[in-house]
């Protein structure tokens, strides 16, 4: 090894004269050199050994990795083929059209397999289920199989291209983040409630496909045909619609904040109410009354089905006779226990406006005697949101026979998805009257006027 010869060379006595004149200094120097070299050599041997070892180790690591990958791949192949065999046998022997237990088994089998597979094998499993007609939606029920529910399936990063027909695919509630459907046919397919961020539909043909409530952030719809496609309540922030054909698409309550979509594409789509536009402003907000049968209530001979009440209680109601406008109420309240009627109202079509913090409610009605109303807001998971709102109890107890217009405005709490409206006919302790009457109850949503 060269290191040893270096040491030998420097250890040889040098020129005598030189050595004598500068004897002391040279000896010091020589000692130091010897010391240094004798320290350096083992150090370099050490470094050399370490380098070699690392090299050997990394090549061993590589080999191990390769072996591991091969083993993984083999394992995944086994999982896939055993899953396919299993389901194929069931399909041959069982009448899947009438047997929900079989379908449930297939669902469980598929979901657990999908969790362990890579995107390519996920695709093979999906294709098998689709071609077995287990994942095809058909309103006309032309084929005999029930549709498999794969909600919760992990299909992230799946890559599908140039498949001639993937029409009528039914995949609601799945995970398709970073997936690709490039050059695909997806007519009449259904993806409602799915997580599909960063998905690509480039150059695909979609007709009447449903994306209701899907999360489609940064989705790629370049060159995609999107005729009659429903994006109702879908999140499309920063989605790319370059050269997409949006004829008849439904963007009601969609969030298009930051999306690449032209004025013309939006106009072609037509349905845009309650949507947030690419520049962050809102399209027209539907300011209609959301209470069903809130008006002319007393004109109905029975309690309208939009309202609920205990059946025996409703018999005690009478049309309030002192008015021509079909007010609804009770004349002899003192003889009755407190009673109420209720209606639950979905606000899902306003979710983008509500969550932007810009939604304002307008709640009004005509109330007389002992009638009053209460509203409670709820999130999608039925958790109470914000404070209750009461109307009907203010400044009218001293009026005789008066039916007064009552009105309140306020902010709708974030995450609100529904409300429950209850109208009470209840003897108010300080009230003078025995009657309770209401009419024309209205609840509507508008955008707050920002200053």
Positions that interact with ligand NAG (CB under 6 A): 98, 100, 136, 138-140, 142, 168, 177-178, 188, 197-198, 202-203, 222-223, 243, 263, 277, 279, 281, 331-332, 395, 397-398
Token readout for 272 is 């845009």
CB of 281 to ligand NAG, least distance (A): 4
CB of 330 to ligand NAG, least distance (A): 9
Residue 22 backbone phi and psi in degrees, to 5: -115, 40
By beta-carbon proximity to ligand NAG, the closer residue of 253 and 343 is 253
Residue 173 backbone phi and psi in degrees, to 5: 70, 25
CB of 50 to ligand NAG, least distance (A): 36
| CA gap 218, 196 in Å, rounded | 9
Would you say 343 and 358 are in contact if contact means Cβ atoms under 8 Å apart? no
* Residue-wise DSSP of 263-314: HHHHHHH-B-TTPBPTTS-B--------STT-SSGGG-SS--TTSB--HHHH
Q: How far apart are the first and last CA of the chain?
A: 84
By beta-carbon proximity to ligand NAG, the closer residue of 343 and 370 is 370
Q: What is the DSSP letter of 349?
A: G
CB of 247 to ligand NAG, least distance (A): 17
CB of 353 to ligand NAG, least distance (A): 15
Would you say 437 and 327 are in contact if contact means Cβ atoms under 8 Å apart? yes
Three-state DSSP class for residue 390 = strand
CB of 266 to ligand NAG, least distance (A): 6
By beta-carbon proximity to ligand NAG, the closer residue of 149 and 343 is 149
By beta-carbon proximity to ligand NAG, the closer residue of 212 and 343 is 212
| CA gap 243, 222 in Å, rounded | 6
CB of 331 to ligand NAG, least distance (A): 4
By beta-carbon proximity to ligand NAG, the closer residue of 246 and 416 is 246
CB of 141 to ligand NAG, least distance (A): 9
By beta-carbon proximity to ligand NAG, the closer residue of 65 and 267 is 267
C-alpha pair distances (Å), 189 with each of 139, 170, 184, 210:
12, 6, 12, 6
By beta-carbon proximity to ligand NAG, the closer residue of 244 and 421 is 244
By beta-carbon proximity to ligand NAG, the closer residue of 169 and 290 is 169
Angle at 253 between CA 361 and CA 387, to 5 degrees: 30
Token readout for 220 is 């790629």
Token readout for 64 is 């191990």
| CA gap 86, 46 in Å, rounded | 58
């Amino acid at each position: 090894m060269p290191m040893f010869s270096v040491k030998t060379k420097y250890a040889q006595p040098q020129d005598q004269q030189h050595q004598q004149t500068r004897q002391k200094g040279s000896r010091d120097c020589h000692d130091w050199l010897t010391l240094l070299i004798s320290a350096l050599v083992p150090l370099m041997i050490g470094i050399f050994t370490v380098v070699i070892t690392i090299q050997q180790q990394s090549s061993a690591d590589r080999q191990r990795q390769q072996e591991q990958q091969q083993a993984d791949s083999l394992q995944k192949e086994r999982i896939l083929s055993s899953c396919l065999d299993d389901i194929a046998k069931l399909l041959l022997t069982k009448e899947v059209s009438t047997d929900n237990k079989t379908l449930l088994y297939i669902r469980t089998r598929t979901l657990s397999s999908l969790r362990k597979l890579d995107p390519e094998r996920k695709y093979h499993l999906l294709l098998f289920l689709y071609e077995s007609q287990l994942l095809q939606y058909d309103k006309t029920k032309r084929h005999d199989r029930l549709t498999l529910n794969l909600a919760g399936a992990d299909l992230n990063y799946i890559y599908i291209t140039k498949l001639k027909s993937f029409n009528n695919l039914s995949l609601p509630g799945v995970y398709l983040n970073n997936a690709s459907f490039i050059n695909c046919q997806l007519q009449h397919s259904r993806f409602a409630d799915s997580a599909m961020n960063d998905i690509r539909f480039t150059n695909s043909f979609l007709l009447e496909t449903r994306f209701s409530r899907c999360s489609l952030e940064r989705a790629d719809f370049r060159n995609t045909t999107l005729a009659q496609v429903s994006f109702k309540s879908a999140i499309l922030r920063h989605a790319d619609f370059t050269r997409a054909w949006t004829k008849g698409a439904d963007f009601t309550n969609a969030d298009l904040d930051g999306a690449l979509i032209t004025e013309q594409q939006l106009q072609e789509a037509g349905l845009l109410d309650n949507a947030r536009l690419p520049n962050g402003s809102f399209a027209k907000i539907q300011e209609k009354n959301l209470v069903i049968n809130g008006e002319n209530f007393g004109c109905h001979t029975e309690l309208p089905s939009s309202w609920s009440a205990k059946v025996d209680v409703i018999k005690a109601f009478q049309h309030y006779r002192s008015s021509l406008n079909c007010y609804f109420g009770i004349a002899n309240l003192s003889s009755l226990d407190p009673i109420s009627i209720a209606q639950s109202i979905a606000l899902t079509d306003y979710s983008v406006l509500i969550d932007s913090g810009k939604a304002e409610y307008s709640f009004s009605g005509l109330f007389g005697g002992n009638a009053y109303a209460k509203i409670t807001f709820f999130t999608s998971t039925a958790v109470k949101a914000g404070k209750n709102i009461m109307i009907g109890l203010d400044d009218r107890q001293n009026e005789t026979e008066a039916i007064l217009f009552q009105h309140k405005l306020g902010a709708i709490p974030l995450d609100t998805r529904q409300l429950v409206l209850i109208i009470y006919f209840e003897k108010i302790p300080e009230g003078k009257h025995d009657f309770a009457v209401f009419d024309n109850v209205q609840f509507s949503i508008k955008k707050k006027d920002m200053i």
